[in-house]
Structure 1
Amino acid sequence: MKDVRSMAAASGEGMMNLAQANPEAMGALSGFIGAALSEGSISLKTKELIAVAIAAYSRCEYCIVGHVRNAYKVGCTREEIIEAATVAIAFGGGPTAAYTGTTLMDAVNEFEHDFDDVK
């Protein structure tokens, strides 16, 4: 089982270190990501489910952990998160299934009740 809470903390710390090392580039990236993952014609909830699927397809463990946590934070359910990842498996095959069955499921189980007040 992955220690997804430690992975989330390490990812956040790493991004802060990058921002200190290159504030202009990381500021631009942060601004773009913030704009892309905000409410719009597509709801933030739907955007986070898309991000979960892309993270699983890309096999980025830190992205998987972060976006599963963010998906719960904006009110997604366990079932929605797993279903989004299952769509990614349809395109990514075995490798995506492996990351979904391990890292994603560890994150789903770990963060499931962190944002119960949102649902």
Structure 2
Amino acid sequence: MMDWNAYREKLMAGIGDLQALSPDTVGGYVQASGAGAKTNYLDGKTRELIAIAVAVTTRCDGCISVHAERAVKQGASEQEVAEALGVAVALNAGAALVYSARALDAVKKTTERSDLMTATSS
């Protein structure tokens, strides 16, 4: 498995390099990611649990690393993280189910068109 702490440190150094070259890019990200904390409708732990689940669905190791650390600092237990990850698993499966129906629809429409073209050329 990955050394998440070392990875996070290296990642943050790389983001620091990007910030030096393009401060508005990183600043815009920081502003967007801090917006929820300003309204504070959800507590920090809940926001971090959501962030971990989203990080899994977007397959972002950097996001997993950062938000795992923040979730722990906000008091999230392994059980709470596991439940949030269960939601991510279900959503990914649900998305695959939805897109499976779309793929079948595409096959049906292609088959119908192919059948129609064959019938009109005969």
TM-score when scaled to structure 1? 0.72
The structure with the largest helix share of the pair is: 2
Report the 3-state secondary structure (helix = DSSP H, G, I; strand = E; otherwise coil) of the residue aligned with 1:55.
Answer: helix
Q: Offset at 1:34?
A: 1.8
Query: CA contact under 8 A between 1:37 and 1:48: conserved in structure 2?
Result: no
Which runs of structure 1 show a deviation greater than 4 angstroms over 4 or more consecutive aligned residues?
none
CA distance in 1, matches of 2:38, 2:56: 21
What code does the residue aligned with 1:42 have? L
Query: CA contact under 8 A between 1:8 and 1:66: conserved in structure 2?
Result: yes
Q: Offset at 1:25?
A: 2.2
Unmatched tracts of structure 2, length 5 or more: 94-122
Change (3 A) 1:73 1:39: farther
Change (3 A) 1:65 1:5: same
Query: CA contact under 8 A between 1:38 and 1:44: conserved in structure 2?
Result: no
| RMSD of aligned residue pairs (Cα, Å) | 1.4
1:14 aligns with 14
Change (3 A) 1:79 1:61: same
Change (3 A) 1:39 1:2: farther
CA distance in 2, matches of 1:39, 1:78: 27
What code does the residue aligned with 2:4 have? V
Change (3 A) 1:11 1:39: farther
Change (3 A) 1:33 1:2: same
Unmatched tracts of structure 1, length 5 or more: 94-119
1:67-86 matches, cutoff 5 A: 67-86=67-86
Count of residues paired in the alignment: 93
Aligned-residue identity in percent: 32
Larger Rg: 2
